Structure 1
Amino acid sequence: MSKHTVLFELGCEELPPKSLKKLRDALKVETEKGLKDAGLAFDSIEAYAAPRRLALKIVNVDGAQADTQKRFDGPAKQAAFDAEGKPTKALEGFMRGQGITVDQISTFQAGKVEKVCYLKDVKGQSLDVLLPQILQNALDNLPIAKRMRSAASRNEFVRPVKWMVLLKDTEVLPATIQGLTSGVKTEQGFVTGRYSLGHRFHHPDMVEIKHPDEYLDALRQAYVIANFEERQAIIDGQVKALADEVNAIAIVPSDLRDEVTALVEWPVALRASFEERFLAVPQEALITTMQDNQKYFCLVNSDNKLQPYFITVSNIESKDPTQIIEGNEKVVRPRLSDAEFFFLQDQKQPLASRKEKLANMVFQAELGTLWDKSTRIAKLAVALAPITGAKAEDAEKAALLAKCDLTSELVGEFPELQGIAGTYYARLEGENDEVAESLGEQYLPKFAGDVLPKTKTGTTIALADRLDTLTGIFGIGQAPTGSKDPFALRRSAIGILRLVTENELDVSIEDLIKLALAAYGDVLKDHDKTLNDAVAFLEGRYRAKYEDQGVAVDVIQAVQALSPKSPLDFDKRVNAVNHFRALPEAAALAAANKRVANILAKEAEPTGDVVEANLVEDAEKALFAELAKITPEVEPLFAAKDYTAALSKLAALRAPVDAFFEGVMVMADDAELKANRLRLLAQLRDLFTKVADISVLQH
């Protein structure tokens, strides 16, 4: 079968930069699916994307589907022919329906019955016929939130479509896709479907594509780098070189990097500067406005301090780049001036005096204002201080200042600076480092895997804030349901668990909720119900927390079976079981524990100690001796909550346990022997369940 290389390019007005990479990848996936569904084999698909185009190169694709044979089933052979072997009316009806004669009839076995059939040869359709519809279906299935029409056209796409290239090797494939028709000779004498467009300014003329393999080079000659990754690599290299020239490091967030790559066809990075006086403004505000509004890459030194430079990526190679640089400096100056103005205005009013504005900002209708919340957090923070190791006076002061920057001009303009602005203002007002740093740290962790507060005061405020919100929302009966979680309590719960476990705070979930309830006082009516609901919710988040870390579900369930009260204790048990699960002895011991659990569940578990004199088999004597030896070794480990070391020691029980089940009949006819053996098994199981129920481990 013939093989071909196909090029498809759809040219548009500038595509949405934040979606460009996603559109490219989706077009590739949908086209791959369409080709496979059609039975057209291919070696690979290369996908390209630039601001004004999406393109695919399909390498070594079949020129046509393989010929197939389709079976049409008729009546049973017995009913198809009479005694003389002539067709019956049933068979004649079948042949009429298929338009065939008796010599074209075949038979096949359907279970115990032999039936007649017609095997029709179906010729495979050509790539030329199939590909246009496959490509159109792929375009129709792209993840486009809102499609648009261009002029009088009925065809919809994310942006107005301007041109199309569709080549099979060196020939144009006639097709109509998105309302554009290829294979037509125009008045100017060129055939549509072979010509692309170059750079809007550097090469606005048409570009002839002679073969799919020449596509990238032909566009490069026309000042278009069609390969997204190649364009991105050029930007990376240029940005690094410009940063190196001033001994700086460029901040290149991945989303911004993708967006800038999607904005340019011919990237030219240029370094510009701004007045050093702006560096007195919180650098987070300057970075935010330059990244979000201007799509600039900011530069910092080795200490992560902002430098008075930024890098912009232009889409043209100017003969006078200083004009572009000066233009960007002129544009950014007013934005930095705004940030400076807000910063200076805010300093005219001390942080603590902003509580009056907080008293007029509602946190939640039934739970009061933000100032009410601040006073509760302060009370809770003082109660948490002995647990976190923070100074109570620092925790209280930080809690009362924590939300004050929400009323500032800077946060009003840059909401993402909440907490960060407070840290700057607290420092300027002479607060100590613990208090100042904690104002920014109160919102940590912001997402899964985010860093935690470094200061003890920050840990205290972060914990108090989340506990106050979670307890309050449960207290008024507005727990998350389904996908609705307006106060992000699921994320807060994970944050609480991380703050407790990673700071090794030895406190139970129940005690934490009780402290939060105490801060609420009479605001919440049913403390008992709130306590039960909030504790259950937090305990229910263990699975999500540990699954995110790659811990297997059965490991988590093994620990949950024991319902540990403290997140720190739970964490130690999970880590221990996770380590144990990887040991070679784990599978056999898990199976043995399951067997023991099943035996003990069916029998009334005997009380008292194992009677050594009633041990008659060598295997049960050996197990008893091993248990007697290992128990005093692991008891101190249990007491120290060193569960990993304890389970590692218990792994040594594999051999005597295996020997016991091979050589000992637990359900002996002698009642005393049976009871004694059940006591031995109960002793064995008790050792393991001091850590977790390992019988639930799957292997």
Structure 2
Amino acid sequence: MPDLLIELFSEEIPARMQARAAADLRRLVTDGLVEAGLTYAHAGGFATPRRLTLALDGLAERSPDTREERKGPKIGAPDKAVEGFVRGAGVARDDLEVRDTGKAQVYVAILERPGRPAAEIVAEVLNRTIRTFPWPRSMRWGGGTLRWVRPLHRILCILTEADGTHSVVPLDVDGIRSGDVTEGHRFMAPDRLRVTSFEDYAAKLKRAFVMLDAEERAETIRADAASLGFAAGLEVVEDPGLLDEVAGLVEWPVTLMGRIDDGFLDLPAEVLQTSMRAHQKFFSVREPGTGRIVRFVTVANRETADDGATILAGNQRVLSARLADAAFFWNNDLAVAEAGMAKWIEALEAVTFHAKLGSEADRVDRIAALARDLAPSVGADPDAAERAARLAKADLTSEMVYEFPELQGVMGRYYAMRAGFSNEIANAVAEHYAPLGPSDTVPTAPVSVAVSLAEKIDKLTGFWAIGETPTGSKDPYALRRAGLGVIRLILTNELRLPLGRIFAEDSPDLLSFLQERLKVHLRDEGVRHDVIDACLAMPGNDDLTLLVTRARALSDFLKTDDGGNLLSGFRRANSILTQAEAKDGVEYSFGADAKHARDPAEKALFAALDQQQPTIEAAVEAEDFAAAMAGLARLRMPIDAFFEAVQINDDNQILRRNRLNLLSRIRRLCLDVADLTRIEG
């Protein structure tokens, strides 16, 4: 069984597209081969700035022969129907067979297709893949019709047999003919390389200064940067996103450390880091104790005779120019901040938040009022919460945030401190966007929590009021993220907020939206959706902390033997009761009396209920659901014994009604904890 090697060699592919492109090449080729009847053992995709590579092990030598019997019209059907069937099947009418199906005789076409050699199928699939490749952006280069992200220069496509011999899969795409030739590093080893297998290909590329594996390039950069920092007594700021991007910019990473001019070292660390990351793709290097950014790491794509000195000098000149701009913005902004930030706050009136929701100034008014209202519930000072909310959006009109929008809030904190506001207020300004995602840190300081909640609730209620809600995969205003932010703020800080009273009256389904987001959030913790549904059916379901406390306790309880068996007992009791009530036309909801108990198991169940019911009800009242579940667990054995020994539908109607009312007592006690009728399975 041969191995297949494909390389599509081009000008530089944008780093952000490489991983997806390697995955798409693997998917399109393997899907096409399997659809054509070829199997394989393993497939691996790779990407560098100038090449997409796919290696398949254990490819079948040819597709299997196939035989298909296709049933057609009945005997005696109109000629046009038969002729249409013949054309569709691709056979002659004389080749049709007649079969008796037991109900009628029908025409049958026998379609026999011989297998095809792997090379023929590979050429067909790869041709189609290249011509229809799903680049986010592509264009025609030169006079051909092929669209590619950058000019495509070579197609390497070979099959390697077990004995080491190889053959080129013949292919011509827009004048580019396949071969067994690739190239090494653009500058350090540009000569052509003839290869015979994937192992030969990878080894020759490595000798030609090309690391084929993106993960290897990233790890090389990370390790070399860390070593440079350690040698200088410094540490590199971790930046996984930048690491992946830089690994896609080089084929042979050479890591270099440079200095930042002393005149820029007093800029905020976030400004230095953002400027170097956004414009230069530099990693920041800081002092471990102070956190000051004092150096940078850049990654070159080649080794040089002067060990990178010329490259570093050029990078430092460009960086100084960039940081001079940042320093200019910083100094201008400080003048406004030290004057109280009033200029920025006034400027928000000219910044539109949404055409139907007014300006950013209008939004700030709403957030400030809501933050003041929420403050007592989160333990914050109302005046401080309102003051922080009125400052929260001020930095949107600063020069630094205009240049670096990702520094919203971060710069607001620096400016609030310069304006003389307390750390509590300044930190709330910085944290009011948080959490931005499922792994982002959640604010816990009371003023920060009040402002962050107010910002997100205003966003949700506002867009719900104008009918701009998420649909399907579309969420242009990041409302799902805002909803998750509200959930995480409430749960992390164990807040008791009745959201139904906080949301606007014209947003009736907003609570349902948050509850659905909560299901997703809790599912990651292992809490099943039906468990959450059982708790959503209970009073107080707009109190997310109460809801989650109940759901977690129920989830843990149902994972135990006692929980599973009690659930079975509840279902049995509920089923018998439901049928009896439907038959009798009455509700058995009270009146169970121990004096009518006859069987010892029946008497024992009365005793157990009398003992546990006060404990369970008190635990539910105290919102100690774990204790309530424990009380229910102690009923498991008496309930099991009761069903084992007692016949509910006794001929004696007094005993029957008493036992049905006893089942009602069990049902009501369970339903006071959670709606167990919603539990699946």
Superposition TM-score, scaled by structure 1 size: 0.87
User: Which amino acid letter does the alignment assign opposite residue 578 of structure 1?
Assistant: S
User: Which amino acid letter does the alignment assign opposite residue 499 of structure 2?
Assistant: I
Q: Is the CA contact 1:216–1:227 (under 8 Å) kept in the aligned structure 2?
A: no
The CA distance in 1 between the partners of 2:556 and 2:459, in whole Å, is 35
Instruction: Choose 284-293 or 533-542, whichever is displaced more.
Output: 533-542
Of the candidates 652, 656, 674, which is equivalent to residue 634 of structure 2?
A: 652
Name the structure 1 match of 2:254. Answer: 268
The CA distance in 1 between the partners of 2:21 and 2:157, in whole Å, is 19
User: Which amino acid letter does the alignment assign opposite residue 634 of structure 2?
Assistant: A
The CA distance in 2 between the partners of 1:346 and 1:25, in whole Å, is 45
Of the candidates 306, 312, 330, which is equivalent to residue 343 of structure 1?
A: 330
Of the candidates 372, 375, 378, which is equivalent to residue 388 of structure 1?
A: 378
Q: Is the CA contact 2:97–2:107 (under 8 Å) kept in the aligned structure 1?
A: yes
Deviation at 1:291, TM superposition (A): 1.2
- Structure 2's unaligned 5+ residue stretches are 76-88
The CA distance in 2 between the partners of 1:363 and 1:119, in whole Å, is 67
**Are positions 1:618 and 2:627 aligned together?**
no
Q: Is the CA contact 1:617–1:664 (under 8 Å) kept in the aligned structure 2?
A: yes
**How many residue pairs get matched?**
656
Structure 1 residues 24, 538: CA separation in 2 closer, same or farther (over 3 Å shift)? closer
Structure 2 counterparts to residues 498-537 of structure 1, below 5 A: 498-513=488-503, 529-530=505-506, 532-537=508-513
User: Which amino acid letter does the alignment assign opposite residue 253 of structure 2?
Assistant: P
Instruction: Choose 288-297 or 643-652, whichever is displaced more.
Output: 643-652
Structure 1 residues 477, 61: CA separation in 2 closer, same or farther (over 3 Å shift)? closer
Deviation at 1:201, TM superposition (A): 0.9
- 1:94-139: CA deviations, max 9, x gaps? 9x93777xxxx99988568899978776432111211111222333
Q: Is the CA contact 1:591–1:695 (under 8 Å) kept in the aligned structure 2?
A: no
User: Which amino acid letter does the alignment assign opposite residue 374 of structure 2?
Assistant: L
Name the structure 2 match of 1:417. Answer: 407
Q: Is the CA contact 2:341–2:419 (under 8 Å) kept in the aligned structure 1?
A: no
The CA distance in 1 between the partners of 2:366 and 2:97, in whole Å, is 86
Structure 1 residues 367, 27: CA separation in 2 closer, same or farther (over 3 Å shift)? closer
Of the candidates 537, 541, 565, which is equivalent to residue 542 of structure 2?
A: 565
User: What's the RMSD between the two structures over aligned residues?
Assistant: 3.0
Q: Is the CA contact 2:146–2:174 (under 8 Å) kept in the aligned structure 1?
A: yes
- Structure 1's unaligned 5+ residue stretches are 78-93, 183-191, 514-526
**Are positions 1:574 and 2:548 aligned together?**
no
Structure 2 counterparts to residues 354-433 of structure 1, below 5 A: 354=343, 355-433=345-423
Structure 1 residues 613, 424: CA separation in 2 closer, same or farther (over 3 Å shift)? same
Structure 2 counterparts to residues 44-193 of structure 1, below 5 A: 44-71=42-69, 97=92, 110=101, 122-140=113-131, 142-169=133-160, 170-180=165-175, 182=177, 193=179
Q: Is the CA contact 1:161–1:178 (under 8 Å) kept in the aligned structure 2?
A: no
Q: Is the CA contact 2:36–2:63 (under 8 Å) kept in the aligned structure 1?
A: yes
- 1:223-280: CA deviations, max 9, x gaps? 2122222222222221221122123332343332222111111111111110244232
Secondary structure at 2:233 match in 1:
coil
Q: Is the CA contact 1:441–1:458 (under 8 Å) kept in the aligned structure 2?
A: yes
Of the candidates 16, 19, 34, which is equivalent to residue 18 of structure 1?
A: 16
User: Which amino acid letter does the alignment assign opposite residue 156 of structure 2?
Assistant: V
- 1:3-55: CA deviations, max 9, x gaps? 11221111111112101011111211222222222222222122221111111
The CA distance in 1 between the partners of 2:311 and 2:93, in whole Å, is 73
Q: Is the CA contact 1:164–1:180 (under 8 Å) kept in the aligned structure 2?
A: no
**Are positions 1:456 and 2:456 aligned together?**
no
Name the structure 2 match of 1:209. Answer: 195
Structure 1 residues 596, 402: CA separation in 2 closer, same or farther (over 3 Å shift)? same
Secondary structure at 1:19 match in 2:
helix
Name the structure 1 match of 2:647. Answer: 665
The CA distance in 2 between the partners of 1:304 and 1:34, in whole Å, is 56
User: Which amino acid letter does the alignment assign opposite residue 329 of structure 1?
Assistant: Q
The CA distance in 2 between the partners of 1:366 and 1:123, in whole Å, is 65
- 1:542-594: CA deviations, max 9, x gaps? 33333354432111111112252311111101111221221123333323323
Of the candidates 299, 316, 327, which is equivalent to residue 329 of structure 1?
A: 316
Name the structure 2 match of 1:518. Answer: none
Deviation at 1:208, TM superposition (A): 1.3
Name the structure 1 match of 2:527. Answer: 551
% identity of equivalent residues: 34
Instruction: Choose 643-652 or 458-467, whichever is displaced more.
Output: 643-652
Name the structure 2 match of 1:586. Answer: 563
Deviation at 1:345, TM superposition (A): 0.6
Secondary structure at 1:585 match in 2:
helix
Name the structure 2 match of 1:84. Answer: none
User: Which amino acid letter does the alignment assign opposite residue 148 of structure 1?
Assistant: M
Q: Is the CA contact 2:276–2:319 (under 8 Å) kept in the aligned structure 1?
A: yes
- 1:309-356: CA deviations, max 9, x gaps? 111111111111111011111111111121111111111123441322
The CA distance in 1 between the partners of 2:66 and 2:507, in whole Å, is 68
The CA distance in 2 between the partners of 1:479 and 1:156, in whole Å, is 37
Deviation at 1:497, TM superposition (A): 2.3
User: Which amino acid letter does the alignment assign opposite residue 630 of structure 1?
Assistant: Q
Of the candidates 347, 353, 359, which is equivalent to residue 342 of structure 2?
A: 353
Q: Is the CA contact 2:590–2:664 (under 8 Å) kept in the aligned structure 1?
A: no
Structure 2 counterparts to residues 228-243 of structure 1, below 5 A: 228-243=214-229
Instruction: Choose 495-504 or 485-494, whichever is displaced more.
Output: 485-494
Structure 1 residues 69, 473: CA separation in 2 closer, same or farther (over 3 Å shift)? closer
Q: Is the CA contact 1:296–1:312 (under 8 Å) kept in the aligned structure 2?
A: yes
Q: Is the CA contact 1:351–1:405 (under 8 Å) kept in the aligned structure 2?
A: no
Q: Is the CA contact 1:619–1:660 (under 8 Å) kept in the aligned structure 2?
A: yes
Deviation at 1:669, TM superposition (A): 4.0
Secondary structure at 1:666 match in 2:
coil
Structure 1 residues 616, 698: CA separation in 2 closer, same or farther (over 3 Å shift)? same
**Are positions 1:200 and 2:197 aligned together?**
no
Secondary structure at 2:280 match in 1:
coil
The CA distance in 1 between the partners of 2:2 and 2:645, in whole Å, is 69
Secondary structure at 1:237 match in 2:
helix
User: Which amino acid letter does the alignment assign opposite residue 225 of structure 1?
Assistant: M
